[in-house]
Structure 1
């Protein structure tokens, strides 16, 4: 029987993983309407680029970094044919499935690069790919899948660079993976900084003859320069278009403002660190033992330096998340620590003897002499590492059921185990979270039936994005990315606007553009509109909408 080549094996792994994640996304989002808010907002941003009243690329927004929304644009272009690409954010599911399947391939490649036993590599890969957090975030349109892919790719290439000093690894890790990671999540700034430190120190120590500093600096620029360029380029683009370089932190729609409005952060540094450590433990309960075992197997032995890449890069990412939460700068979400899972997978792969390494494209002058020395020691300890890694699957599944640590994931039980006859408070909470955005879809259908002309409804995308993305007539809505938004908001009756979609002027609603312009709109109509419809919301943390009909303009004297 002919052995399947590495290339073909990776194609098979990618196709299988993509099919599983896409199927789960279809089942969750299209069939059951279980959609997370950030995933739906990214689909809405991509829709605005193509189908808003003022379609332009900058309509994608500058709160999130752009890659996850931009990747969905080709599928959103098909939403007139199949509305669920936008309305149910299935474009996001396909985006996540592709990137997470790519992350699975990176785990396979991490083992095959070092010539490990294929059976062992596939065992570790299967444990990683079937972890419930990986399955969920490989299917739901959030930014976790591309972030895990890019960081795991960078770690894999840096591991090999530590062995063979091939400059191609630095180009792939820094020039592609790190730069695109930043365009996926702001958290990647920790990876970029950590990679610069790791590569700079390593090259400086390897270069025995002057000019050591210059050689180290060149390698640092290769691995972290593109990430820095992505940071600066995105900030400059944001500043030129919106007047703010870092909207995530300064805009009324950004993360900092949301934390302030909703009270989502923590004010207790110690409690924040405890929460972060607990979250990491839930996702990778045997991470520390795997690191210790891998260190014992590697330290001061041939190619021991490859151990540093996952520890430094994944470790910096987790430390950054822990620090930002402990200082009250982000939310208590289990998903922010998801890289603990590929971290543990890499440790399980590093904790075994090397086989025959892949031949480098250009072996560097500072590669250790023993870089290509294969060993034939038993994999018995490796299977113990695999068993330890496998513990993460049931523990992560249990962790996802805990609302304290997993306020977004725990409601999956309403879909996986609906139990419609239960009257418990826990089930009620799960159903309410699972029903998020169902009211917005109903409201969108109601507004579509009115057959309103273009520019008839003013709505801020703070909350209104969920209504707009579910509408078959997105040009009906006037939104903040439209060039004439302020002009129409200032004089809705004189410019043909028929309705204002209002939300309560409390919590996040205080930053809603309609409330900023008309502070009493939700309560009284602010003398510019008359209440026509109130829409109670059955979703979690979603507002009760009020639809106000704009008053007729006063007759001219």
Structure 2
């Protein structure tokens, strides 16, 4: 095994082990897992261990690839229940991709003829950035998405420089995997399509191989390149729409259902600050610019390198700017449609976009003091970004979602998880064969912490909808409901029976109240009101 291979494996093991250690500390010592991460693990859990196990139980709102990968880990759930109950399957998945990202950056640097020191420093400076490091241990979908995103950009940069069709093929399939991980791949695909036009028109036609391409030849080349790069992602999108149609009965279920981002964003209409953003393009642009600037030091470093090397006018810079603009462009569109929470992490992808581009950028400089000076500037920008993002995590008004990891003892999401683990134990101690109907979009923490998830009739089960509309007919014994105003998705049970949580029903009697956060109702034959009973008894 060569020294380069040994070093790449060492980088992987260092990052992977560090992420696992942090994930263990957060999930076990502190007892907190990000709700979205735990929910993705739960989606994979339902496929294998729910009352009605089937692949469709993985869900049709979030892109399914993270949960699909967690399926392989959850095979060992009977031996290690904490893989689901504490969401540790998600930690393993994100730690794996964090380590792979380090290897990818290192090997990219080597392929671009950077030194082993430069390549390894670039990989470590990115992966050990405290903000990025957190996302390698928190079980969210960002780590695998960033890996596929970087792979797409790196292979695309190889194509720009080497013009090998194989790089286009790798880039296209990486983009499709990015789509199966997060929807942000869609605007990125549009940016990539425009970038292809720029490369073919302004870069490749100037080479000695194609000194003067005719307009029709350029069009044919653009069309062929689009097919190679974009077809896997376009096919993936159509396949996702098809799956939504044949299984959920709505091709755009992921986009407009009661569990979609659009539906959950309705709560923002009650927030005065967001209402101002939604109604003002200028304020939205300012909001986006402020968020994006936190991640932009490496881009400024690239611009300075181009300025001092007299390459600021080169057309490949437009390619980088297009790829960079995909993320803020999407957020602007969503804000105009009043369907984005504007979380700080939504803007983070501009950072890995530039980092993935850096080896290509440095390869354009000659060996010697110019390249070393440029790399020194890159180091300063990476260290500066680490400092900025470390500070941002400590500020709840800047990065509230990430700040929750610093306030686990007091943040409401961690408190809810602790309470719901207690609820799961209480239900396990009191029920064995009874059927409990609940909405898994809210009850996922309870479900993965139960020792017998099959007693729950949940949203992904084929019998859920009929049982929801007629609990008695389908032999539902209990209904578990969340407090209607709690954080998270709206419960379809609460939407179907708006008064049930607070007032019960003629066919449902309160059996147990869990600190007014959850209530368990016993389902029975309808009881007549006292007046009706008296009238029925009179001659």
Same fold at TM > 0.5: yes
User: Is the 1:159–1:306 contact (alpha carbons within 8 Å) kept by the matching residues of 2?
Assistant: no
CA distance in 2, matches of 1:43, 1:509: 16
- 1:506 positional shift: 4.6
Give the one of 29, 34, 57 matched to 1:36.
34
Q: Which moved more, 1:329-338 or 1:287-296?
A: 287-296
Match of 2:448 in 1: 469
**Change beyond 3 A, Cα 1:346–1:294:** farther
Residue 381 (1) aligns with residue 392 (2): no
- 1:282 positional shift: 2.4
CA distance in 2, matches of 1:310, 1:109: 20
Deviations 1:295-343 (A, max 9, x none): 32565599x6665554332332333234424542211211111223223
Give the one of 44, 47, 50 matched to 1:46.
44
Match of 1:361 in 2: none
**Change beyond 3 A, Cα 1:377–1:166:** farther
User: Is the 1:47–1:76 contact (alpha carbons within 8 Å) kept by the matching residues of 2?
Assistant: yes
CA distance in 1, matches of 2:227, 2:309: 28
CA distance in 1, matches of 2:488, 2:116: 54
Match of 1:291 in 2: 302
Give the one of 501, 509, 518 matched to 1:545.
518
- 1:204 positional shift: 4.1
CA distance in 1, matches of 2:303, 2:6: 34
Deviations 1:34-91 (A, max 9, x none): 2111111111110111111111101111100110111100112211211111111110
Residue 490 (1) aligns with residue 490 (2): no
- 1:406 positional shift: 1.3
User: Is the 1:519–1:526 contact (alpha carbons within 8 Å) kept by the matching residues of 2?
Assistant: no
Q: Which moved more, 1:194-203 or 1:156-165?
A: 194-203
Match of 1:196 in 2: 193
Q: How many residues align?
A: 512
Match of 2:383 in 1: 390
Residue 233 (1) aligns with residue 233 (2): no
Residue 401 (1) aligns with residue 394 (2): yes
- 1:507 positional shift: 7.2
Classify the secondary structure of the residue corresponding to 2:520.
strand
Match of 2:537 in 1: none
Match of 1:246 in 2: 252
TM-score (norm 2): 0.88
Deviations 1:157-202 (A, max 9, x none): 111111110111100011x210000111111011111111111332
Match of 2:330 in 1: 320
CA distance in 2, matches of 1:201, 1:388: 28
User: Is the 1:248–1:256 contact (alpha carbons within 8 Å) kept by the matching residues of 2?
Assistant: no
Match of 2:224 in 1: 218
RMSD: 2.6
**Change beyond 3 A, Cα 1:324–1:490:** closer
**Alignment of structure 1 residues 266-415 onto 2, 5 Å:** 266-267=277-278, 268-284=280-296, 286-296=297-307, 300=311, 307-325=317-335, 327-346=337-356, 348-350=358-360, 352=362, 354=364, 375-378=367-370, 379-414=372-407
CA distance in 2, matches of 1:215, 1:349: 26
**Change beyond 3 A, Cα 1:527–1:297:** farther
Classify the secondary structure of the residue corresponding to 2:461.
coil
- 1:288 positional shift: 4.3
**Alignment of structure 1 residues 75-114 onto 2, 5 Å:** 75-114=73-112
CA distance in 1, matches of 2:456, 2:339: 33
User: Is the 1:529–1:548 contact (alpha carbons within 8 Å) kept by the matching residues of 2?
Assistant: yes
User: Is the 1:352–1:381 contact (alpha carbons within 8 Å) kept by the matching residues of 2?
Assistant: yes
CA distance in 2, matches of 1:494, 1:549: 14
**Change beyond 3 A, Cα 1:476–1:298:** farther
**Change beyond 3 A, Cα 1:409–1:282:** same
User: Is the 1:39–1:89 contact (alpha carbons within 8 Å) kept by the matching residues of 2?
Assistant: yes
Deviations 1:373-423 (A, max 9, x none): x644441232132112211112101101222221211122235xx7xxxxx
Structure 2 gaps, min length 5: 529-539
Classify the secondary structure of the residue corresponding to 2:510.
strand
More helix by share: 2
User: Is the 2:441–2:489 contact (alpha carbons within 8 Å) kept by the matching residues of 1?
Assistant: no
User: Is the 2:291–2:347 contact (alpha carbons within 8 Å) kept by the matching residues of 1?
Assistant: yes
CA distance in 2, matches of 1:463, 1:151: 30
Q: Which moved more, 1:242-251 or 1:307-316?
A: 307-316
**Change beyond 3 A, Cα 1:505–1:147:** same
Residue 181 (1) aligns with residue 178 (2): yes
Give the one of 447, 451, 460 matched to 2:427.
447
CA distance in 2, matches of 1:17, 1:332: 29
CA distance in 1, matches of 2:415, 2:488: 20
User: Is the 1:43–1:72 contact (alpha carbons within 8 Å) kept by the matching residues of 2?
Assistant: yes
CA distance in 2, matches of 1:493, 1:220: 55
**Change beyond 3 A, Cα 1:81–1:214:** same
CA distance in 2, matches of 1:405, 1:452: 46
CA distance in 2, matches of 1:18, 1:276: 32
Classify the secondary structure of the residue corresponding to 1:408.
helix
Residue 526 (1) aligns with residue 505 (2): yes
Classify the secondary structure of the residue corresponding to 2:394.
coil
CA distance in 2, matches of 1:169, 1:88: 39
TM-score (norm 1): 0.86
